[in-house]
Amino acid sequence: MAAALAAVALLLGIGMFQERLLYFPARSSVAELSAAGLQPWPSAQDFRGLLAEAQGPLRGTAIVFHGNAGHAGHRDYYAAALAPLGLRTILAEYPGYGPRDGSLGEAPFVADAVATIEAAHRAFGPPIVVIGESIGAGVAAAAVGRQPERVAALMLITPFDRLEHVAAYHYPWLPVRRLLRDRYHSVDHLARYAGPKLVVVAGRDDIVPPQFGEALYDALPWPKELLRLPGSGHNDWLLATDAAWWAAAVAKLLPAPAGG
């Protein structure tokens, strides 16, 4: 009886505190985030992320939704890779991360991401490219699925098809499908998205094993392309990329700049 009660208590605890198991926000002020030269966007007072202007001929705007740890300021490598390719880059921040108030979870993250894409489209116009990494791939998929007409192309890095599949892989002894509140059903969200899609999987990823990214790729409608980084893990995939890799990836999503 005691063992059964302990098991129930454990399951209830996991159900109640799963946000603490899934999200690891770092807090920072707008001033601290802007110290590296990126600009608060759309303003310091109405902060939604960090902005880096494009270098050279403008090809469009990229919006990046980062993984579950840290804050947007830790992802300045996206701006370093994309701005030289002519992409104005917004490192979107989630509610409850960096300097932003708000609740953690799929519903507030996705609603906020929808608002960020709307604001970028209103401010800058098309084309908009959305990039999501890890949990951010789930956020990106859901947000794009709600407003596909605003997004020209989508890039998903170390993604999964459904969060419950990843959770069941790591915790096979738990009834994760019943416990999970945040689902991130990216397959469903992107079922009708007709823009170009690039899925990047890390071959040695032990956090989101590559089969889940490949399952997402298999389920997506065309046009789509799969890029594998065979020797990379979940947190070091960036080391397998360089300027040429990023140029080739962007070329799969957007037309070449005029004269390029």
Per-residue pLDDT of 37-69, as tens digits, reads: 899 999 999 999 999 999 989 999 999 999 999
Per-residue pLDDT of 106-155, as tens digits, reads: 999 999 999 999 999 999 999 999 999 999 999 999 999 999 999 999 99
- The structural domains of the chain, ordered by start, are 2-253 (3.40.50.1820)
Q: Which of 35-44, 72-81, 234-243 shows the lowest mean pLDDT across its residues?
A: 35-44
- SS3 for the chain is CHHHHHHHHHHHHHHHCHHHHHCEECECCHHHHHCCCCEEEECCCCEEEEEECCCCCCCEEEEEECCCEECHHHHHHHHHHHHHHCEEEEEECCCCCECCCCCCCHHHHHHHHHHHHHHHHHHHCCCEEEEEECHHHHHHHHHHHHCHHHCCEEEEECCCCEHHHHHHHHCCCCCHHHHCCCCCEHHHHCCCCCCCEEEEEECCCCCCCHHHHHHHHHHCCCCEEEEEECCCCCCCHHHHCCHHHHHHHHHHHCCCCCCC
pLDDT band at 177; cut points 50, 70, 90 = confident
